[in-house]
Homo-oligomer: A and B are copies of this chain.
Amino acid sequence: MALPKGLAAFPITPCDRHGRVDAVALRRLVARLRSAGVDAVGLLGSTGTFMYLTREQRRTALEVAVDEIAGAAPLMVGVGALRTDDAVELARDATSIGASCGLLAPVSYTPLTEDEAFEHYSTVAREGGLPLCIYDNPGTTHFRFSPELIARLSQVPGIVGVKSPSGLSGETVAHLGDLRARVPAGFSLGYSGDWNVLAPMIAGADVWHSVLGGLLPGICLRIVRAAQNHDEAEARRLDTALGPVWELFRTYSSLRVVYAMAEILGIARAAPPRPILPLSDTARSHVADVIGRLPSELVV
């Protein structure tokens, strides 16, 4: 299975204060993504707080999403866990419930060596029964994937792509070119970090793994389609118009901001799992002010 190209939209996972999934709210979020026609739904990513939910609740979230999507888009789901055997079980759950692909972050407490990460990924790929996308997110996992390790993992049967962090545009475009030369044809090279993703998308990256796309899929799809159609001017115009949102993400973190945005826009009312706190009243007002000033074509 190759990963789809385009927009992978990562919603929050609305839960109560005990970490129980709010199925109604999650279904509403996923329905928005289906209706918008996203290229993939990214359930239980970092924005979906996968590491804060039990296996049981992760199953519940997946069942709700699979049911709501009903085959209209591929579903990628976070299967990361601290223990290798737990990640295998999560991948098996995802396989049996009907996910298309697992997103595996090298979550660690004890910092991992490259060989340990390689064994971890190989084991989950071999035993989980699910195509895997490597989740390279040093901001949360503090693990650094070398291009050599990505290349080595891209040879493992069942590992089909990587979601890399984006940064300065020149560096990210160079990173994309470097990886492209090292991995097999069809291996998906995608990027996260919404405010820096335009450059690699214009340069031909396969997927934008998007936090904003989980809440506002319409505008993110327009940017992706413009990039895919080589309409760089339109893609830049829309991305620039979203600048105030990217500034909020940089200031308060995308996770905390999308929780506030979901509530401000009346899409979902939920708090992130403690110890993560909702934004302060001041920050929330700032978010509301920015959202209120956005042209309406962007808030879709």
Contacts and interface: CB of A to CB of B under 8 A. Distances in A.
A110 B255 CA distance: 9
Identical chains bound together, number: 2
Contacts of A184: none
Closest 6 interchain pairs by CB? A120-B275, A51-B109, A84-B274, A116-B275, A84-B275, A142-B142
Interface in A135-184: 139-142
A82 interface: yes
Contacts of A289: none
B120 A83 contact: no
A19 B110 contact: no
A107 interface: yes
18 contacts: A17-B85, A18-B85, A49-B110, A51-B109, A52-B82, A83-B273, A84-B275, A85-B274, A108-B275, A109-B141, A110-B140, A111-B139, A112-B276, A116-B276, A119-B275, A120-B274, A120-B275, A123-B274
Contact of A140 (B83, B111, B140, B272): B111
Given A110-B255, A113-B277, A119-B274, 20 more contacts: A17-B85, A19-B85, A52-B83, A52-B109, A83-B273, A83-B275, A84-B274, A84-B275, A85-B274, A108-B275, A109-B141, A110-B253, A111-B253, A112-B276, A116-B276, A116-B277, A119-B275, A119-B277, A120-B274, A120-B275
A110 B46 contact: yes
A281 interface: no
Nearest to A115: B277
Contacts of A253: 110-111
A117 interface: yes
Interface string A81-111: 0111100000000000000000000111111
Contacts of A108: 275
Interface residues of A, number: 37
- Please report whether the interface of chain A is mostly helix, strand, loop or mixed according to DSSP: loop
A280 to B, nearest CB: 8
A275 B84 CA distance: 5
Interface in A44-90: 46, 49, 51-52, 82-85
Nearest to A121: B275
Contacts of A111: 139-140, 253
Which has the most chain B C-beta neighbours within 10 Å: A52, A106, A119? A52
A214 B115 CA distance: 27
A117 B274 CA distance: 10
Interface in A236-273: 253, 255, 272-273
Contacts of A123: 274
Which has the most chain B C-beta neighbours within 10 Å: A19, A142, A253, A274? A274
Interface string A17-43: 111000000000000000000000000
